[in-house]
């Protein structure tokens, strides 16, 4: 299937329009191998390397109102896969 371009919030791994602990849980599940979600991997990759525990930590810091050096919460665009 052809990917499509969509706007999203950096750090909003689950794509619901809000950055919260559910995004952290989604990334942790992916890192633990409990689920595969390429779109969540794109949205949750805030450090712009491979998805890792560092992304989890930075999103947690964002939720707790710590310094945000990775543009978490900003809008950007990326190519996504169709998921059913």
pLDDT digits (tens, 9 = 90+) for 57-77: 999 999 999 999 999 999 999
Token pair recorded at residue 18: 């809000």
Judged on CB neighbours under 10 Å (0-12, 13-18, 19+), 18 is exposed
pLDDT of residue 21: 98
pLDDT of residue 1: 55
Q: What's the pTM value of the predicted model, to 2 decimals?
A: 0.88
Full 3-state SS string of the chain: CCCEEEEEECCCCCCCCCCCHHHHHHHHHHHCCCCCCHHHHHHHCCCCCCCCHHHHHHHHHHHCCCCCCCCCCCEEEEEECCCC
């Amino acid at each position: 299937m052809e990917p499509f371009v969509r706007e999203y919030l950096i750090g909003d791994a689950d794509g619901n329009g809000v950055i919260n602990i559910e995004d952290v849980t989604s990334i942790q599940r992916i890192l633990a191998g409990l689920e595969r979600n390429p779109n969540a991997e794109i949205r949750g990759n805030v450090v712009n390397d491979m998805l890792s525990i560092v992304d989890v930590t930075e999103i947690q810091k964002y939720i707790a109102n710590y310094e945000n050096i990775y543009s978490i919460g900003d809008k950007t665009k990326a190519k996504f896969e169709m998921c059913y």
